[in-house]
Structure 1
Amino acid sequence: MSDTTLTDQQIVDTDAQLLYIGNTGTVEFDLTLPTEGKNGSTVTWASSDERWIQPDGTVHMPEYGRGDRNVTLTATVTHGDATATREFTVKVLEQANKIKVKEFFPIELSVQAGATYALPMFAAVLTDDGRLLSQRINWDDGVEHTAGEPGDVTFHGLIDGSTIDANATVHVLAEDPQTPVDATPKLNPVPLAHVRLTGDGVLAGNQQRRIEFLRTVNDDQMLIEFRRAAGLDTKGAPDMIGWDAPDALLRGHTTGHYVSALALAYAASGDETIKSKLDYMVDSLAEVQRAFDGKPGFHPGFLSAYSEFQFNELEKYAPYPTIWAPYYTLHKILAGLIDAYQYAGNETALDVASKMGDWTYDRLSKLPHEQLQNMWSMYIAGEFGGMNESLANLYAITKNPKHLAAARLFDNDRLMEPMRQHVDSLGGMHANQHIPQVIGSVKLFEQTGVPYYLDQAKFFYDSVTGHHLYALGGTGQGEMFHQPDEIGNLLFDNTAESCASYNMLKLTAELYRYFPDAQLGDYYERTTLNHIAATTDHVPEGGSMYFFPTQPGGQKSFDVENSCCHGTGLESHFYYAEGAYYTDADALYVRLYLNGTLDDEAGKLSVTVADATPEHVAIDVERLGRKQLRLRVPSWSVDGKVTVSVNGRAVDAAVVEAARTATGELAFSPALLGLDSFDGAHLELGFNPHMHLFATPDRPELAGVAWGPYVLAALSDETSFLDVPVDDADPDAAFEHEPGTLTFTHKATGLKFVPLSTIGFEHYHAYVRTK
């Protein structure tokens, strides 16, 4: 009943203040939200995030490991023509840890007597229902310790949120067990600036369209939020959209990708217009960094498109979406600047990046180890991209020990401890949140020589490529890793995030330097041709695919909303040649057969690849300042078959076999080919491509269909799995190859199969039922 002595406005103001919805600080139950005020007003409710609290008060607690969620409930109180609002901040707690552990994988670490060390805060477990998971451990005696005399020490703890025991054994040794080893890579990639793609193929076309798009980008628009945050003139630029909009918490990340894209595009093309745009971006970012310096609340070296607020809140464990991965955005900016220096020689970029590295160290080195681990294990909020990679790269240039120390502050137990245990506990982890961290692990091995950095990276790579891949080379469903060998049950519209493949290819290129095996070349080719090359629009508008649909009747969509995959899509088409050529003191290694030229005067290399198809490759060597030419034999060439001719003369099959190595390549010397020198030689390779299947391990009746290096899709708008009978022993018998094309017809059904990269907006089936 309303008080008749009050006006409508007084009623709503009073009733708004009298609203009570209980304890909002630790919510794990549905809320009772009143719909009527004390004085007869009407109350309606709105939620800032209906995933966790609906307007009727229904609460959905996040899964364990996803973190608590802060949600704003807004009450709108009305009476007559008067309105008042009141906001309530509600913390929804994550669910309790409900796992039942069948096996706890042993934690063992070795340390030197007298050294300080930290117990791993996560470790791998096997649950009763067969899942492998990484679980947080709360140690009885804390995390950080100092090693005493040599001998074994045991520690006890509990798995977080449970009464399940966890134990660790620390082996204290007289000598340092992590004595650095020689981290010199076996091979070095030929820099992108020495390779040019030619011809009218998919890769060269994609690259040229990306360059055309980059020329049209408004640089001042890319800089608007940086200038706005620093109080500088925004030069009348329009606002950014999507994830970089003025109120978006990830604003600035696309600008970092854009700087990298310009640097890579310049390296891949030598285009001076692109170089001018890059220099303008770097000079402008340097101006922003100078403008921040000395402002209240900003510390020297800071550079971003917003204040230090999100970094402050992360240290208080603010969850997503209260904040959104501030170090992720910082990484994109830092990586772009380092790329500007490495690919285009911009010294200003190095200066700005170096100051950012100092800022990072100065901030994070003050935090306890346990706090850092808590931050990096947070879902999305703690995502930091490849900060460890970029800081290690920065150290390689500057040799500033602060930059290397900063890189190591991003070591993440939740990901890496199970990898050191050699347990694939990736299930439940955000895929692209963690792949860049592994790239950083390889770079840290290169700079420190500490063996576990390389070991854990290789185990991670083998786990993903062996047990978490879709046929096209992508990984993850709904951005998440799932349990090993679970693919057939995860064929949906939100599979194979493009960012994940972008980073897996970077990881492959880094690992190949230490593990020069043709299988890494196979993965690089497969994912480049069938995922990355297939994710760009066919017009120069800059669109990229976020997910690659794998469900029946899937259809592509191209994102221009400045998402993460739009950002990596700006860069990825300039990385095509990253995995193509490597060298050591004795040999040139050809990993990918890309139509184009390799020209490195200082390296005494001049090579042209032409007419590259799955059946045939022509290689003209003008100059080869190496003793050997090593040529990859693709795994898709049935039975490893390959023919070789030199200067029009067939090389005897016995000679070819004599050149075959255990790592899946042909190692030719001039003498083996009957030559005095490679210079001036014309080689032709013939391969034996056939149809083959990528059956899903959990549903072997479902398979992706491929011919040679190309994964094919059936064109159909049917929304159920298509029955496409194929004899596993002879897949070729089921298809007819249209001469001179990459189109195949399934004889029994008449279905057309085409490479994924050629599909525009047609509905397709990436997987079919083959038996």
Structure 2
Amino acid sequence: MRALSSFHHRRLVLRGAAGLGLVPGLSAASAATVATGLATAASSVPATAQALPLSSVRLLPSVYADAVQANQAYLLRLSADRFLHNYHLFAGLPVKGAIYGGWESDTIAGEGLGHYLSALSLMYAQTGTPALKPRIDYIVAELARVQQAQGDGYAAGFMRKRKDGTVVDGKEIFPEIMRGEIRSAGFDLNGCWVPLYNWHKVFAGLFDAQTYAGNDQALQVALGLAGYIDKVFAALNDEQVQQVLGCEHGGINESFAELYARTQDKRWLALAQRLYHTKVLLPLTQGRDELANLHSNTQIPKLIGLARLHELTGRQSDANAVDFFWKRVTQHHSYVIGGNGDREYFSAPDTIAAHITEQTCEACCSYNMLKMTRHLYSWAPDAAYFDYYERTHLNHILAHQNPRTGMFTYMTPLMSGVAREYSSEENDFWCCVLSGMESHAKHGDSIYWENGDTLFVNLYIPSTVEWKAGAAQLELNTRYPYEGDIDLKVRRLAGQRTFTVALRIPAWAAQHTLLVNGRPHKAQQDKGYVLIRRRWRAGDTVRLSLPLDLRLESTAGNDHVVALLRGPMVLAADLGAADKPFDGLAPALVGANILASFAPADKSKALYRSVGSGRPGDMKFAPFFSQYERRAAVYFNAYTESEWAASEVAFRKEEARLKDLAARSVDVMHLGEMQPERDHDLQSDISYPVSYRGRNGRDARTGGYFSFRMKCTTGPLVLQASYWGEERNRDFYISVDGERIARVMLDGSHPGAFIDEEYPLPERLTSGKSSVVVRFDPEPGHTAGPVFGVRLFTSS
């Protein structure tokens, strides 16, 4: 993102003489006098910072408070006993509730309990709602009962699918692993779906119960579980540990680092440091961006673990890896809303424009990137970190939950015209539902930070805060980011006290004004903050006013693909209701000065319209996050008039080619669509429908297949199959009526496009027939496809 990549340049500008230009008409001589007078008082930002406790912050009415309220209602509708179902079952205890559906009924079962415990604990700290505390204590007590019944510290809900297809208690895999029988395939460990990732969430829930709800029994449960896991890894040599870590394991290194922090038992520090995934972390330590084609959310928690280890040990290489990763992801791998990943994977750096699809921005990735940002900021406060945090928090995290229903998205699609898909109450529990329960339980956790007698205000979210170090209560009121005025008031203060209030000036704010008690105030600036140091008393007020001008921001690596922003807020074209189909072309923006073509429709609601620049027609724009039940367009190809005319010529040429192909087609198979698959007698095993870039398809995993019947005629025919050109490590066969006609190996050699591969058929395969059976079989250990459609057509 261009704005993110210019952070440090922008900060250097702010640190210059212009940093004192807060009062219109202030002379250079006066500015120098002011600078001298302030130099010893508040000339620089403190070296470190820590967030104020979540329990000290209470949200006032806003979209953030609405999200918290909707989430709390959902948490209270959920059942702890249903999340505990497998924990009880596998410990031989009576179950007290039916297991939930979706992922909770799959081999990843049990993950939901850890997230739910975290969400309850965070929500209790955020709101103080009394009904939450008994649930927290109950879950912890039940986990202690489970451990007592297991007898060895074990507690888990995940399951194992055996080779014969039966599903059993996941505990069965660990004796195998301890014997060195390790089978890891990215997300599967000996038939279990990411068990260590699962446990990382359980540990996090236990730690949050202790931190935010004062439940000390949670630490004892964590110690029991840690003892079991330690025995498993103690049986493995270093090479075997790396084999296990080849399966997604979340931030299990963070779990043991945190356990060490809470107990000071070096046994846990040693294990945390041993759980170092060398293949991924070493290149980052050495400053190499090898993220392309890595699963995004598999990697981010490992770096959060390194951040925690750095805080405990001071090892600089860990901090270097985290810092390098954060900069590369935010500046070269992120979309305008702050999220990253297409189909959950990083693409090559600076290729965002080629990956604007319906599978962008997995919510868990942003949830974790915000956690990482908090670590980095605490080490060296700089407003640049919170420019990214605010962007992602506002435009992605808020978009992730529908406040009307309290339900969550998995992906946040940025492809034009694609609607958000939300979870159900009881039958999904994707990872992003679970992290969503946490994200929307803690909107107050990063507003206020402190160091000594400095209070940082990093997010402009209406709230009150009890600041113990300053013996003060403050209140923040604003309609930001809809309006630019931000008001901070000292509500309560014992007597008069001298302290510093540091207000973040976003990098996009070319200028700002500052008033204290209604009068212009001169303040020093450093690292993107105005530093107001004075003797405060109850009733004092501060008003910071930020300009909310429109701007266009291009994607990293492609200046011709742009998005529209107003202050920190991404605006998107409204393409209609989500429950109505959209089959139009992705809209574009055309003109010599596109930005000047936008006119306000209602500034108070951040509503705008394009005037003369929209293609195929002008559009209405609204805040992207708020388009919960609308179809939107976020990114636009930007053209001059001559470029637009040339693109229309190319479009018509392609249209003519497809028309000719359609005329020669004997049959077309639309894979991944219910009715066409029924019409063509689809047969399959270990095969799944997929959707990508607006096209439906189907794949078959190792050991599976899919087949279907297609009409044919006599004469030379060609079979055409469509693939996404960046698929890698795909190896499979195509057969017609039992005879193999092709072996297909996809190696990612056609980036940024779908490809149509043609396979001429021997005439003997179709002679005298009215139909044939086409079959796709993967080579063992590989996947067939995905295949995004098959066509049978005459060769001329």
What's the TM-score once normalised by structure 2's chain length? 0.68
Q: Say yes or no: does 1:391 pair with 2:256.
A: yes
**1:507 maps to which residue?**
372
Which amino acid is the alignment partner of residue 456 of structure 2?
Y
**1:343 maps to which residue?**
212
Q: What is the CA-CA distance between 1:726 and the residue it aligns to?
A: 6.2
The 5 A counterparts of 1:126-525 are 186-199=48-61, 201-235=62-96, 237-245=97-105, 248-293=106-151, 299-305=152-158, 306-312=169-175, 316-318=181-183, 319=185, 320-321=187-188, 322-376=191-245, 378=246, 382-525=247-390
Q: What is the CA-CA distance between 1:539 and the residue it aligns to?
A: 2.5
Pair 678,317 (structure 1): closer, same or farther in 2 beyond 3 Å: farther
1:709 pairs with 568, 575, 586, which one?
A: 568
Pair 628,600 (structure 1): closer, same or farther in 2 beyond 3 Å: closer
Q: Say yes or no: does 1:754 pair with 2:629.
A: no
**2:774 maps to which residue?**
none
Alpha-carbon distance in structure 2 between the residues aligned to 1:727 and 1:633? 31
Which amino acid is the alignment partner of residue 355 of structure 1?
G
**1:107 maps to which residue?**
none
SS at match of 1:763: strand
Whichever structure has more strand as a proportion of its residues is 2
Pair 233,603 (structure 1): closer, same or farther in 2 beyond 3 Å: farther
**1:617 maps to which residue?**
486
Alpha-carbon distance in structure 1 between the residues aligned to 2:466 and 2:90? 44
Alpha-carbon distance in structure 1 between the residues aligned to 2:47 and 2:251? 20
**2:608 maps to which residue?**
744
Pair 603,276 (structure 1): closer, same or farther in 2 beyond 3 Å: farther
Alpha-carbon distance in structure 2 between the residues aligned to 1:292 and 1:488? 52
Q: What is the CA-CA distance between 1:740 and the residue it aligns to?
A: 2.0
Q: What is the CA-CA distance between 1:239 and the residue it aligns to?
A: 2.1
Alpha-carbon distance in structure 2 between the residues aligned to 1:712 and 1:263? 34
Alpha-carbon distance in structure 1 between the residues aligned to 2:116 and 2:371? 17
Alpha-carbon distance in structure 1 between the residues aligned to 2:348 and 2:439? 28
Alpha-carbon distance in structure 2 between the residues aligned to 1:533 and 1:232? 40
Alpha-carbon distance in structure 2 between the residues aligned to 1:678 and 1:588? 15
RMSD of Structure 2 on Structure 1 (CA): 1.9
Q: Say yes or no: does 1:627 pair with 2:487.
A: no
SS at match of 2:301: helix
Whichever structure has more helix as a proportion of its residues is 2
SS at match of 1:576: coil
Pair 570,399 (structure 1): closer, same or farther in 2 beyond 3 Å: same
Q: What is the CA-CA distance between 1:621 and the residue it aligns to?
A: 1.7
**1:528 maps to which residue?**
393
SS at match of 2:249: coil
Pair 424,688 (structure 1): closer, same or farther in 2 beyond 3 Å: same
Alpha-carbon distance in structure 1 between the residues aligned to 2:234 and 2:591? 59
Alpha-carbon distance in structure 2 between the residues aligned to 1:683 and 1:600? 17
Which amino acid is the alignment partner of residue 441 of structure 1?
L
Q: Deviations over 1:384-440 (max 9, x none)?
A: 111112221221111121221221121111121111111111111110001011111
Runs of 4+ residues over 6 Å off in structure 1: none
Q: Is the 8 A contact 1:341 1:347 kept in 2?
A: yes
Q: Say yes or no: does 1:683 pair with 2:683.
A: no
Alpha-carbon distance in structure 1 between the residues aligned to 2:472 and 2:259? 28
Q: Say yes or no: does 1:644 pair with 2:505.
A: no
Alpha-carbon distance in structure 1 between the residues aligned to 2:223 and 2:182? 27
Q: Deviations over 1:153-194 (max 9, x none)?
A: xxxxxxxxxxxxxxxxxxxxxxxxxxxxxxx98111111111
Q: Is the 8 A contact 2:342 2:359 kept in 1?
A: yes
Alpha-carbon distance in structure 1 between the residues aligned to 2:133 and 2:147? 21
**2:13 maps to which residue?**
none
Q: State the percentage of identical aligned residues.
A: 32
SS at match of 1:316: coil
Q: Say yes or no: does 1:555 pair with 2:419.
A: yes
Q: Deviations over 1:304-329 (max 9, x none)?
A: 45442244555533234433111011
**2:532 maps to which residue?**
668
Alpha-carbon distance in structure 2 between the residues aligned to 1:346 and 1:583? 26
Pair 249,406 (structure 1): closer, same or farther in 2 beyond 3 Å: same
Q: What is the CA-CA distance between 1:303 and the residue it aligns to?
A: 4.2
Alpha-carbon distance in structure 1 between the residues aligned to 2:206 and 2:280? 27
Q: Is the 8 A contact 1:727 1:734 kept in 2?
A: no
SS at match of 1:393: helix
SS at match of 1:271: coil
| Greater relative CO (CA pairs within 8 A, separation 6+) | 2
Pair 283,602 (structure 1): closer, same or farther in 2 beyond 3 Å: farther
Q: Is the 8 A contact 2:57 2:445 kept in 1?
A: no
Q: Is the 8 A contact 2:461 2:478 kept in 1?
A: no
Which amino acid is the alignment partner of residue 277 of structure 1?
R
**2:671 maps to which residue?**
none
Q: Is the 8 A contact 1:358 1:402 kept in 2?
A: no
Alpha-carbon distance in structure 1 between the residues aligned to 2:538 and 2:289? 47
Q: Is the 8 A contact 2:598 2:608 kept in 1?
A: no
Pair 603,281 (structure 1): closer, same or farther in 2 beyond 3 Å: farther
SS at match of 1:385: coil
Q: Which runs of 5+ in 1 are unaligned?
A: 1-183, 294-298, 671-675
Q: Deviations over 1:340-383 (max 9, x none)?
A: 0011110111110122222222321332111112221x2xxx11
Q: Deviations over 1:528-574 (max 9, x none)?
A: 0000111112324x421101111121110112301111110111112
SS at match of 1:332: helix
Q: What is the CA-CA distance between 1:689 and the residue it aligns to?
A: 1.3
Deviates more, 1:424-433 or 1:743-752: 743-752
SS at match of 1:272: coil
Pair 753,347 (structure 1): closer, same or farther in 2 beyond 3 Å: same
Which amino acid is the alignment partner of residue 517 of structure 2?
N
**2:452 maps to which residue?**
585
Q: What is the CA-CA distance between 1:679 and the residue it aligns to?
A: 4.2
Alpha-carbon distance in structure 2 between the residues aligned to 1:274 and 1:403? 31
SS at match of 2:444: helix
SS at match of 1:251: coil
Q: What is the CA-CA distance between 1:465 and the residue it aligns to?
A: 0.5
Which amino acid is the alignment partner of residue 634 of structure 1?
P
